[in-house]
């Protein structure tokens, strides 16, 4: 189970990434979200910030945040499926996530 601090870290980094895209006038597409979500979660796990057992919960939190930004148009079943896909994705694109560390 994610701690309150981990929950805050994940949502905070999501918001930083979203604001970074807005500042660059780039769209936050489903594809960009998927690559970001997989990359940030894999970074967290690799850095020991989140244990592997909590990766799916982190993915669910990111999908929930993304869905909220879309006006809650993704069904619960689809959110779960997307979260599972994100949690299983081995992508780690440092270039994509570097904007949240600046």
pLDDT at 21: 94
12-21 per-position pLDDT tens digit = 999 999 999 9
Supply the mean pLDDT for the chain. 96
Band (102; pLDDT cuts 50, 70, 90): confident
pLDDT at 93: 97
Q: Is 3 helix (H, G, I), strand (E, B) or coil?
A: coil
- Pure H helices in 1-102: 4-23, 30-47, 55-69, 76-88, 94-97
pTM, to two decimals: 0.95
Q: Which two tokens stand for residue 74?
A: 């993704």
Query: What's the whole-number mean pLDDT along residues 70-88?
Result: 97
Report the C-alpha gap between 41 and 25 in whole angstroms: 24
């Amino acid at each position: 189970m994610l701690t309150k601090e981990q929950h805050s870290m994940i949502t905070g980094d999501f918001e930083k990434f979203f604001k970074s895209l807005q500042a660059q006038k780039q769209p936050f597409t489903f594809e960009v979200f998927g690559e970001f979500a997989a990359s940030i979660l894999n970074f967290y796990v690799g850095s020991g910030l989140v244990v592997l057992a909590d990766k799916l919960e982190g993915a669910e939190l990111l999908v929930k945040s993304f869905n909220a930004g879309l006006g809650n148009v993704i069904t619960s079943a689809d959110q779960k499926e997307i979260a599972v896909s994100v949690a299983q994705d081995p992508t780690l694109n440092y270039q994509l996530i570097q904007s949240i560390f600046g």
